[in-house]
Amino acid sequence: MASIFTKIVKGEIPSYKIAEDELFYAFLDINPLAKGHTLVIPKKEVDYIFDLDDNLLKGLSLFTKKVAKAIEKSVPCKRIGVAVLGLEVPHAHIHLVPLNSEQDINFENPKLKFTQEEFCDIADRIRKELA
Ligand code: AMP
C-alpha cells in the first residue's frame, strides 16, 4: 500500500506544499515542533533514507538545503535543525526544524497547533523566499 507521503505527492491527500521538483517534495509537518517545521521527501517511496541510491540522496540533500535557506528567512530562528527519524512513516524524509534552542528539536515536546489559515500563511511565506 502506498505510504501517506506518496498519497501527498499524488495529491490524494492534502498538504501545505513548500516546494516540488521532478524528484523531491517539501511540505509542512502537520504536527510541528516549531513554526515552519518542514518535511522533505524523495517522491520515490523508499522507507529508509540510507537505502536511497547515492544520486538520489545527494539530490535530496541539495533540495533540502534550498528549502532550509528559505525557512530560515521566513521564521525567526537561529538556524535550521535537521533530523531523520522515520519511526512513524516508512517513506524517507528529512525534518527541518527552526531552532532557537536545542530543546526546540526534542521530539518528545508537545506538538504545536495551528489553524489552517496559519499553516497556509507559514507555507506562503516560505514559498515566497524560494521564488
Ligand atoms: P517520523 O516517521 O518519526 O519521522 O515522523 C513522521 C512525521 O510525519 C511526524 O512528524 C508527523 O507529524 C508527520 N506527518 C504524518 N502525517 C503527515 C501528514 N499527512 N502531513 C504532514 N505531516 C505528517
> What is the reported pLDDT for 131?
84
Four-point Cα dihedral 116, 30, 100, 66, nearest 10: -100
Q: What tens digit of pLDDT does each residue of 109-125 get? A: 999 999 999 999 999 99
Record the cell numbers describing residue 87, joined without a space.
Answer: 519511526
Neighbours of 111 (CB within 10 A): 13
Catalytic residue numbers? 93
Q: How far apart are CA 36 and CA 28, in angstroms?
A: 7
For the segment 43-62, the average pLDDT, to the nearest whole number, is 98
Q: Is the CB of residue 37 less than 8 Å from the CB of residue 96?
A: yes
Q: Which grid coordinates belong to 119?
A: 499553516
Query: Nine-digit cell at 1?
Result: 500500500
- Spacing, Cα 131 to ligand 1 middle (Å): 25
Indicate whether residue 86 lines ligand 1 (CB < 6 A).
yes
Residue 101: φ, ψ to 5°: -150, 165
Please determine, looking at this structure, whether the domain spanning 4-130 carries the CATH number 3.30.70.3270.
no
pLDDT tens per residue, range 59-99: 999 999 999 999 999 999 999 999 999 999 999 999 999 99
**What's the rounded Cα separation, in Å, for the pair 125 and 122?**
5
For the chain, give every domain's residue range. Answer: 4-130
* Cα 38 to averaged position of ligand 1 atoms, centre (Å): 10
The closest alpha carbon to 93, from 82, 106, 79, belongs to 82
Distance 32 CA to ligand 1 centre (A): 9
Q: Closest ligand 1 atom to the C-alpha of 90?
A: 2
Q: Is 84 in the pocket of ligand 1 (CB under 6 A)?
A: no
What's the length of the chain? 131
Q: Ligand 1, from 16, 31, 91: best to mutate by most atoms within 8 Å of Cβ?
A: 31
- Give the pLDDT score at 31: 98
Q: What is the mean pLDDT of residues 120-131?
A: 96
Instruction: Give the global pTM.
Output: 0.98
Q: How much is the pLDDT for 51? A: 98
Q: Where are the beta strands (DSSP E) in the chain?
A: 17-20, 24-28, 38-42, 79-83, 94-99
